[in-house]
Chain A
Amino acid sequence: MIDKTTNQRAWLLVLPVVVLVAFNALIPLMTVINYSVQETFGNNVFFFEGVKWFEQILHSERFHAALLRQLTFTGIILLIEIPLGVAIALAMPKRGPWVSVCLVLMALPLLIPWNVVGAMWNIFALPDIGLLGRMINGMGFDYNFTQQPLAAWFTTILMDVWHWTSLVVLLAYAGLSAIPDAYYQAARIDGASAWSVFRYIQLPKMKRVLTIAVLLRFMDSFMIYTEPFVLTGGGPGNATTFLSIDLVKIALGQFDLGPAAAMSLIYFLIILLLSWIFYTLMMRNEAQ
């Protein structure tokens, strides 16, 4: 039998992390959970309601509509940004002075504060004074994103693609640069076509960074708030009211703390679940 020395002082070393996590995650989360099972009519008086708010949210058509809009939006931007990002990364120069120029240009949209992005695109796309809006109308299309749901979606997606494709490009480019020259040389000797090189060398070697890119873009786009809030405010009507915008309306507009708390927990669980599914699917082959 080995004698173990017991030294409780080790707990002190963990304490800073415990405090940090408690204040930025656990305590706020507990507050939300607390709200989600109670009803209040003000004056800091609360009544226990059980799972009533959860049931209400899960059966609410308003929530279903916002969730559907959210899934559609995220699906569309993933389908555009991931292939586009990979294509741009493939087209970028491998070496030479232009590499830095391209990287800086690519990084620029990522450096702009999110509300500024929203404001920029709002003005840029206005049909009367915005450059984009006037151009589209000048080409003979009837375009007004403040009134037409389709135009609002188009503008929001274009804005997100402009803002975030760079992230995919930078990640994909990093993955591509890590491929040793010998792979390309071997492929040339083996007589591989450009498509085979992409399919059997570049894509598999980029897989890890692309997994990260898909996860980041999924989570960020699923939580998107600032840019569409500034651009369209969720309108026209509720056309671009995504989950986070709807949540803020319920919590701060209507001040329904219980339903809002229940909704944020469901929202959180959906993101967690979908992220887990994405991750498992993309990593499944790796494990074999």
Chain B
Amino acid sequence: MAKITLDRVRHSYLEQPASPADWALKQLDVVWSDGGAYALLGPSGCGKTTLLNVISGLLQPSGGRVLFDDRDVTGVPSDRRDIAQVFQFPVVYDTMSVYDNLAFPLRNRGIPEDQVKSRVQQIAGMLDLQGVLGNRASGLTADGKQKISLGRGLVRSDVNVIMFDEPLTVIDPHLKWQLRSKLKELHQEVGATMIYVTHDQTEALTFADNVVVMHDGQVVQIGTPVELFDKPKHTFVGHFIGSPGMNLLPCEIRDGFPSFLGHRLETAAAVEVPPGTARTEIGVRPEFVRFGDAGLPVEIVRVDDVGRYRIVAVQHKSHTIRLVTPEDVALPESSGHLVFDRDRTNVYADGWILE
């Protein structure tokens, strides 16, 4: 068990990175506390897997340090970092039995066979694998194989962190839910730090206590699911998390308050725009926009009924705004006025929130 610190870690796959785009990981400073359940969320190609491989030691970062507790492990190879990793596609040793698969990491470390046996039995119990211990691993279904991969991590009592690299990609939808609850359960049982990489916000938000959102090689926000929803620190978090994502509208700041195409909007407090800002926007989630008697005049362009609520798309000049309304609230005919919840309307300067 350990706290993991990334100290100014950066990485490029190129020999001579020139432009910022050449860096797969721009500078990262992250602390993962001991025993936490983290999700690493971001779109494909944002650097999630690179970051994971830096922590597990499969990749040497171009710069910066990785610390486990206070020990610098930047140069330490994977097998001596005491970490476990579950990959996107199940990795099992085909010719071995399920038992031998689970025992493999222990036997490689020279642990006596009687201890191996009790440990394997214990882990097999946690993962519901007792019945198939004698079977060939290659004969199992995808979710069974993924359990073996996970078991090979859990079986070692010394793991600092277990990392999951989109582990549910090849699992049938109805088993995904089961396996995800199993992971959550195991986290409480084992207490190891877990980092779960995914591009699926549902997976991230249900698994993790803390979600690390990555975008373009940077960590844009670390927070609880509620924080990410209520106060996205970056416009990317706003539109990546939530369905539909946050509305973003260009605005000008006058006297500390935003104005969208001449319409003054209220926010909780006055903001101050830092000098040199190129672009200011307001962001408000569809859940916090409603129709009112007065406000921003809009035309309704589309209504999607998605069950318990409706998603309404409206237009003001060429800007589309989405709002979520409950099923039982009546909509105006074809045009109306929008009211934004002032406490939930955020102002962003060059993508970052102003507070």
**Which residues from chain A sit less than 8 Å from chain B, CB to CB?**
180, 182-183, 185-186, 188-193, 196, 200-201, 204-205, 285, 288
| Interfacial chain A residues near B93, Cβ < 8 Å | 200-201, 204
| Interfacial chain A residues near B87, Cβ < 8 Å | 182, 185-186
Q: Quick check: is B58 within 8 A (CB to CB) of the other chain? A: yes
A188 engages B77 (CB within 8 Å): yes
With contact pairs A200-B93, A288-B136 given, residues A191 and B83 touching in the complex (Cβ less than 8 Å) = no
A193 engages B108 (CB within 8 Å): yes
Q: Quick check: is B88 within 8 A (CB to CB) of the other chain? A: yes
| A21 to B149 alpha-carbon distance, docked (Å) | 50
Q: Which of A185, A188, A191, A288 has the most CB of B within 10 A?
A: A191
Which among A182, A189, A204 is the interface contact of B94 at CB below 8 angstroms? A204
With contact pairs A200-B95, A200-B96 given, residues A191 and B58 touching in the complex (Cβ less than 8 Å) = no
| A204 to B84 alpha-carbon distance, docked (Å) | 23
B152 engages A190 (CB within 8 Å): yes
| Interfacial chain B residues near A285, Cβ < 8 Å | 95
Tell me the smallest distance from the CB of B187 to a CB of chain A, in Å.
Answer: 19
B78 engages A180 (CB within 8 Å): no
Q: Quick check: is B89 within 8 A (CB to CB) of the other chain? A: yes
A182 engages B136 (CB within 8 Å): no
| Interfacial chain B residues near A204, Cβ < 8 Å | 93-95
B94 engages A188 (CB within 8 Å): no
| Interfacial chain B residues near A180, Cβ < 8 Å | 89, 91
Q: Quick check: is B71 within 8 A (CB to CB) of the other chain? A: no
Interface of A: prevailing SS: helix
Which among B77, B79, B94, B136 is the interface contact of A190 at CB below 8 angstroms? B79
Chain B, Cβ-Cβ closest to A193:
B108
Q: Quick check: is B288 within 8 A (CB to CB) of the other chain? A: no
B96 engages A189 (CB within 8 Å): no
A188 engages B58 (CB within 8 Å): yes
Chain A, Cβ-Cβ closest to B91:
A186
Q: Quick check: is B104 within 8 A (CB to CB) of the other chain? A: yes
Question: Which of the four size classes fits the interface of chain B?
Answer: 20 to 34
Q: Quick check: is B85 within 8 A (CB to CB) of the other chain? A: yes
Q: Quick check: is B109 within 8 A (CB to CB) of the other chain? A: yes
| A285 to B108 alpha-carbon distance, docked (Å) | 25
Interface of B: prevailing SS: mixed
| Interfacial chain A residues near B56, Cβ < 8 Å | 185, 189
Sample of 12 further A-B pairs with CB below 8 A, known A192-B108, A200-B93: A180-B89, A180-B91, A183-B91, A185-B56, A188-B78, A189-B56, A189-B78, A189-B84, A190-B152, A191-B79, A191-B105, A191-B109
A and B contact pairs by CB, cutoff 8 A, 30 listed? A180-B91, A182-B87, A182-B89, A182-B91, A185-B53, A186-B85, A186-B149, A186-B152, A188-B58, A188-B78, A189-B56, A189-B58, A189-B79, A189-B85, A189-B153, A190-B79, A190-B105, A190-B152, A191-B105, A191-B108, A191-B109, A192-B104, A192-B108, A200-B95, A200-B96, A200-B104, A204-B93, A285-B95, A288-B136, A288-B139
B104 engages A190 (CB within 8 Å): yes
Tell me the smallest distance from the CB of B239 to a CB of chain A, in Å.
Answer: 31
Q: Which of B85-124 contact A (CB under 8 A)?
A: 85, 87-89, 91, 93-96, 104-105, 108-109
**Which residues from chain B sit less than 8 Å from chain A, CB to CB?**
53, 56, 58, 77-79, 83-85, 87-89, 91, 93-96, 104-105, 108-109, 136, 139, 149, 152-153
| Interfacial chain B residues near A205, Cβ < 8 Å | 94
Tell me the smallest distance from the CB of B259 to a CB of chain A, in Å.
Answer: 52
| Interfacial chain B residues near A190, Cβ < 8 Å | 79, 104-105, 108, 152
| Interfacial chain B residues near A185, Cβ < 8 Å | 53, 56, 58, 78, 85, 87
| Interfacial chain A residues near B94, Cβ < 8 Å | 204-205
| A288 to B79 alpha-carbon distance, docked (Å) | 32
Q: Which of A185, A196, A205 has the most CB of B within 10 A?
A: A185
| Interfacial chain A residues near B88, Cβ < 8 Å | 182
| A180 to B87 alpha-carbon distance, docked (Å) | 11
Q: Which of A189, A285, A288 has the most CB of B within 10 A?
A: A189
| A205 to B94 alpha-carbon distance, docked (Å) | 8
Tell me the smallest distance from the CB of A226 to a CB of chain B, in Å.
Answer: 39
| Interfacial chain A residues near B136, Cβ < 8 Å | 288
| Interfacial chain B residues near A183, Cβ < 8 Å | 91
B79 engages A188 (CB within 8 Å): yes
The 5 A-B residue pairs with the shortest CB-CB distance, nearest first, are A191-B108, A191-B79, A182-B87, A186-B91, A190-B105
| A240 to B298 alpha-carbon distance, docked (Å) | 95
Chain B, Cβ-Cβ closest to A200:
B93
Q: Which of A190, A196, A201, A205 has the most CB of B within 10 A?
A: A190
Tell me the smallest distance from the CB of B169 to a CB of chain A, in Å.
Answer: 12
| A183 to B93 alpha-carbon distance, docked (Å) | 9
| Interfacial chain A residues near B78, Cβ < 8 Å | 185, 188-189
| A188 to B108 alpha-carbon distance, docked (Å) | 11
Tell me the smallest distance from the CB of A42 to a CB of chain B, in Å.
Answer: 61
Tell me the smallest distance from the CB of A182 to a CB of chain B, in Å.
Answer: 4
| A204 to B152 alpha-carbon distance, docked (Å) | 19
| Interfacial chain B residues near A182, Cβ < 8 Å | 87-89, 91
| A201 to B56 alpha-carbon distance, docked (Å) | 20
Tell me the smallest distance from the CB of B118 to a CB of chain A, in Å.
Answer: 19
Q: Which of B85, B91, B108, B136 has the most CB of A within 10 A?
A: B91
| Interfacial chain A residues near B153, Cβ < 8 Å | 189
| Interfacial chain A residues near B53, Cβ < 8 Å | 185
| Interfacial chain A residues near B105, Cβ < 8 Å | 189-191
| Interfacial chain A residues near B89, Cβ < 8 Å | 180, 182
Chain B, Cβ-Cβ closest to A201:
B93
Which among B91, B108, B152 is the interface contact of A196 at CB below 8 angstroms? B108
Tell me the smallest distance from the CB of B323 to a CB of chain A, in Å.
Answer: 43
| A188 to B85 alpha-carbon distance, docked (Å) | 10
Tell me the smallest distance from the CB of B279 to a CB of chain A, in Å.
Answer: 40
